[in-house]
Amino acid sequence: MAKISVIMPVYNVAEYVGECLQSIQNQSLYDIEIICVNDGSTDNSLEILNRYAEKDRRIIVINKKNEGSGIARNTALKLANGEYVYFIDSDDWLDNDKVLEEMYKKAAWDNLDMLIFGGYSCYVDDKNNVHKTRGGYSLKLIPHKYLNCVFSAKDVKYDIFKFPSTCWTKLYKREFLQKNNIEFQAITVGQDQLPFFHSMITAERIGVLDKCLYCYRKNRKNSAMTVRKKKHFSPVFVLQGIEDLLIKMGKIDEYDTIFINKYFSKATSWLGKFDTALKPTYYKEYMKMLAHLKETYPKGWWKYFKPNVEDSYKTLKVKQFIAKTKFMLLK
């Protein structure tokens, strides 16, 4: 059994996938398997993957029709044999050649279900110089009490969203993921929000490695984040997915306010930033969700919230503030 299964969904990243694979191959921890899922690429990404696989027996290539990176990750997870599982995006890279070894040693020593660490936001300029910032993927929001101990889902209940939610800032025990049926959503953006939340309310042994180990490429053309405003209603789907999960687990009463506050606020932000042509369609889905929240969870600030389709991001923020203030005063 490999120490780590590295899972990498691949879609039209011929320009970047070689760099990503090399950063994995160069790791000092050799006992790994690298599962690459070509998700219906229309460029020569598959050809590049096969070329690398011919020279490295640790690389496994799966070729499938395009269904999104969430399903691609789930497909690979079913085939993984590693003690731990790590998810990497195919246009990014690991910060140095000791990353996987450092992750594994920490996770195995403390027998962790999940290890959390930080990542860099990286801008690559025209001369191929890399400019790193800690950005939103650092651990700066995590309370210090979590940095040097092993803690559980119960300990972190009210601090869940102080941790980075991206899947590439986590190392998971494979047995933990499979035992709890933790999977990615079949949506285009934000697929890792559901498994993040599921893990944070389930794990018995969580640890933190207070370092940035991952390099997230910010300026890739045509990435999912670049095109997100065009056609995706992901925040609505994420909220629905988490609600369904909590109901299924019998924990909806315990976590309803926590998850609604986070993801409804995110959905509201997207409403203010959405592509103008598609905003009315998103608004319809958003308002269905808001009506559901007001009916099902009436003891929240959202019952005073009245957005309009033409509202700007700033206007929505002001309305949100007013609704929250009114809720607190009348509570």
The per-residue pLDDT for 156 is: 95
Same domain, 245 and 189: no
Q: Do the domain assignments include residue 325?
A: yes
Give the per-residue pLDDT at 186: 87
For residue 222, the model assigns a pLDDT of: 52
Answer whether residue 303 is part of any domain. Answer: yes
pLDDT at residue 230, as a whole number: 42
Spans of the chain below 50 pLDDT: 224-231
Buried b (16+ CB within 10 A) or exposed e, 55-87: eeebbbbbeeeebbbbbbbbbbbeebebbbbbb
Q: Are residues 29 and 165 in the same domain?
A: yes
Domain total of the chain: 2
Q: Is residue 22 part of a domain?
A: yes
Q: What SS3 class is residue 89?
A: coil
pLDDT tens string 151-182: 999 999 999 999 999 999 999 999 999 999 99
pLDDT the model gives residue 223 = 52
**How far is it, in rounded angstroms, from Cα 186 to Cα 237?**
9
Residue 222 within any structural domain of the chain = no
Question: Could you tell me if residue 223 is inside a domain?
Answer: no
Amino acid 189 reads V
What are φ and ψ of residue 3, in 5° steps?
-70, -40
| Same domain (yes/no): 44, 166 | yes
Predicted pLDDT of residue 6:
98
Confidence at residue 159, expressed as pLDDT on a 0 to 100 scale: 94
* Same domain as 262, residue 113: no
Look up the CATH number of the domain holding residue 31: 3.90.550.10
Note whether 199 and 162 are same-domain residues: yes
User: Is 95 a member of any domain?
Assistant: yes
Domain end residue (candidates: 217, 238, 267): 217
Secondary structure class of 205 (helix, strand, coil): coil
Domain membership of residue 318 (yes or no) is yes
Within this chain, do residues 209 and 258 fall inside the same structural domain, yes or no?
no
In this structure, the answer to whether residues 294 and 210 fall within a common structural domain is no
Same domain, 34 and 168: yes
Q: Do residues 237 and 94 share a domain?
A: no
275 and 175 assigned to the same domain: no
Using CA of residue 161, residue 165, residue 171, residue 172, what is the dihedral sign?
positive
In sequence order, what DSSP letters do the residues of 13-78 get, joined into one string?
Answer: -TTTHHHHHHHHHT-S---EEEEEEEES-SSSHHHHHHHHHHH-TTEEEEEE----HHHHHHHHHH
| SS3 state of residue 279 | helix
Which residues touch 116 (CB under 8 Å, ≥6 apart)? Answer: 139, 163, 164, 169, 170, 206, 207, 208, 209
Q: Taking Cα atoms as reference points, which of 190, 192, 218, 210 lies closest to residue 133?
A: 218
- pTM for the predicted model, two decimal places: 0.92
Give the model confidence (pLDDT) of 93-103 as tens digits: 999 999 999 99
pLDDT of residue 233: 61
**What pLDDT is recorded for position 228?**
44
Positions of E strands within the chain: 4-10, 32-39, 59-64, 84-87, 93-94, 114-124, 130-133, 170-173, 206-217
Is 42 part of any domain? yes
Q: Are residues 201 and 316 in the same domain?
A: no
The residue among 156, 190, 217 that closes a domain is 217
32 lies in the same domain as 93: yes
Any idea what the Cα angle at residue 255 is, between residues 254 and 259, rounded to 5°? 170
- Of 217, 251, 277, the one marking the end of a domain is 217
Among residues 271, 261, 265, 267, the alpha carbon closest in space to that of 299 is found at 261
Query: For residue 286, what are the domain limits?
Result: 228-330
Give the model's pLDDT for residue 234. Answer: 77
Nearest to 211 by CA among 134, 130, 101, 105: 134
